[in-house]
Amino acid sequence: MKARFALAAALMVLATACGSGASDDLGSARKYQVGRTDLSGVCPAKVVIQTDWNPQAEQGGLYQLLGPDPVIDARAKQVRGPLFSEGSYTGVDVEIRAGGPAIGNQPVPVQMYTDPGILLGWAATDEAVRNSADKPVTQVFATFDKAPWMIMWDPATYPRVKSIADLGRTQATVRYSDGVTWMDYVLGKGILKRSQVDASYDGSPATFLAAAGKVAQQGFATVEPYLYENDLEGWRKPVSYQLVHDTGYPMYAAALSVRSEDVGKQSACLKKLIPVVQRATADYFAAPARANNLVVEAVDRFDTGWVYTKGQAADSAGRQLSTGIVGNGGNATLGDFDETRVRRILDITTPILKRNGTPPADGLTPEDIATNRFLDPSIGLTGKG
């Protein structure tokens, strides 16, 4: 995620962060009436969720969980408050923690095993495979139906390029961040040529701008297209892109995950909590403004160098839906996993990880990586199939 941090630093000229003083803690005497969903007694008194980056609209469903008067802790880079569902208190609190620079840019599974107080953390399918031998995690809610990872290019420079495969038939340099497993897949399939890729991308737009669009680069479909068209001095025009998902690499990115042992140990909690997350996510996309405002305020207060505006948040929420990055998939259920897709990522990444010296656990199965057992199949995005 350091690539995102470099981009944020490069864009500091676009906005000035607000003050970063820590907010007061929740008053201990504050009481809320518990509604029909009561998580007390089965879940921890404070449900801790570790994200992989600074606050952003991709985390909107998590911020939707926060009830009245959430506390923004600028020092700890956390937002916490009463956990609400359908307008009522659930009997427990929730704490959403920033990742990336806030945790030294270490992978979320590593952080989850460093801090046992974390119940849920964001992890991608290939990341779960990579960490399965010594830090196994199991995905329990698919934040995205399609991963937002993309490769983008300048449509004016490459008017005939409509896909990543088309880029592979040009001489364009494609910049990416070293260590991403999906690039090993793209190269192995011959979609891009090894001679044209450059692993030096650090998130900064400087090279793209200096090359006047002659280079292509990786990014996030929910971030860079809006930034480059609306906010980036020296560009401010559209970019074209294709999701890596559409090349045949169908991982689930940033899925809420638990330490694999907690699938059993925390099953009573997860059975009640994950449907709450499903509802909160559906509620967020129905009316994202409240959560987006909190996200933007948290970014300003955290003051890490990550710049995030209301325009970016609104665009991201809309783009997540319009691109199918968030959706019910092939049924009416929000957040579920397709076992065929999980098995495909397992089959793709196992030989890659073995070659790279990080082999997955022996006998790893799709059920070890992701489970639908805690989801309510009746909860989905309205009007989305």
Instruction: Write out pLDDT tens, residues 254-313.
Output: 999 999 999 999 999 999 999 999 999 999 999 999 999 999 999 999 999 889 999 999
320, 278, 323: which is closest to 56 by C-alpha? 320
Q: What is the DSSP letter of 82?
A: E
pLDDT for 143 beyond 80: yes
What pLDDT, in 10s, does the model give residues 239-251? 999 999 999 999 9
Examine the domain organization and report whether 122 and 157 are in the same domain.
no
Share of the chain above pLDDT 90, in %: 89
pLDDT of residue 4: 54
pLDDT for 43 beyond 80: yes
Domain residue limits at 46: 19-144+251-369
pLDDT of residue 219: 96
Rg over CA atoms, the chain: 20
Examine the domain organization and report whether 257 and 241 are in the same domain.
no
Cross-strand pairs, 174: 197, 216
In a domain, 26, yes or no: yes
Examine the domain organization and report whether 258 and 297 are in the same domain.
yes
CA distance linking residue 219 with residue 207, whole number of Å: 14
Q: What is the mean pLDDT of residues 319-324?
A: 98
How far CA 349 is from CA of 107, 175, 215, 264, 363, in Å, comes to: 17, 21, 27, 26, 14
Examine the domain organization and report whether 217 and 344 are in the same domain.
no
Examine the domain organization and report whether 324 and 237 are in the same domain.
no
Examine the domain organization and report whether 139 and 259 are in the same domain.
yes
Pick from 247, 274, 295: which residue ends a domain? 247
Residue for token pair 């007061």: 24
Q: What is the DSSP letter of 276?
A: H
Greater pLDDT, 126 or 18: 126
How many helices (H) and strands (E) the chain has is answered by 14, 12
Mean pLDDT of the chain: 92
Tokens of 314: 């609104």
Q: How many domains does the chain have?
A: 2
Examine the domain organization and report whether 223 and 243 are in the same domain.
yes
State the maximum Cα–Cα separation within the chain, in Å, rounded to a whole number.
65
pLDDT for 383 beyond 90: no
In a domain, 89, yes or no: yes
Residue pair 252/370 in contact (Cβ under 8 Å)? The answer is: yes
Q: Specify whether the backbone of 100 is left (phi greater than 0), alpha (psi in -120 to 50) or beta.
A: left
pLDDT for 17 beyond 60: no
Q: What is the mean pLDDT of residues 364-377?
A: 98
CA distance linking residue 142 with residue 382, whole number of Å: 17
CA distance linking residue 258 with residue 371, whole number of Å: 11
Examine the domain organization and report whether 112 and 153 are in the same domain.
no
In a domain, 374, yes or no: no
Tokens of 276: 């709450």
Confidence at 368, pLDDT banded by 50, 70, 90: very high
pLDDT for 16 beyond 70: no
Examine the domain organization and report whether 219 and 77 are in the same domain.
no
346, 22, 338: which is closest to 181 by C-alpha? 346
Between β-strands 174-175 and 197-198, what pairing exists: parallel, antiparallel or unpaired? parallel
Positions of E strands within 32-86: 46-50, 71-73, 78-85
pLDDT for 372 beyond 80: yes
pLDDT of residue 31: 79
CA distance linking residue 258 with residue 140, whole number of Å: 7
Tokens of 137: 């995690």
How far CA 133 is from CA of 76, 106, 228, 359, 363, in Å, comes to: 30, 17, 39, 8, 10
pLDDT of residue 3: 54
| Cβ-based burial of 287 (10 A; exposed 0-12, middle 13-18, buried ≥19) | exposed
- The answer to whether the predicted template modeling score (pTM) of the entire model surpasses 0.75 is yes
pLDDT for 14 beyond 50: no
CA distance linking residue 220 with residue 253, whole number of Å: 11
Confidence at 11, pLDDT banded by 50, 70, 90: very low
The DSSP annotation for 124-181 comes to -HHHHHHTTTTS-EEEEE-S-SS--EEEEE-TTT-TT--SHHHHHTS---EE-BTT-H
pLDDT of residue 30: 57
pLDDT for 19 beyond 90: no
Share of the chain above pLDDT 70, in %: 91
Residue type, 163: S
- The CATH number for 66's domain is 3.40.190.10
In a domain, 5, yes or no: no
Question: Hey, CA dihedral for 251, 253, 259, 264, is it positive or negative?
Answer: negative
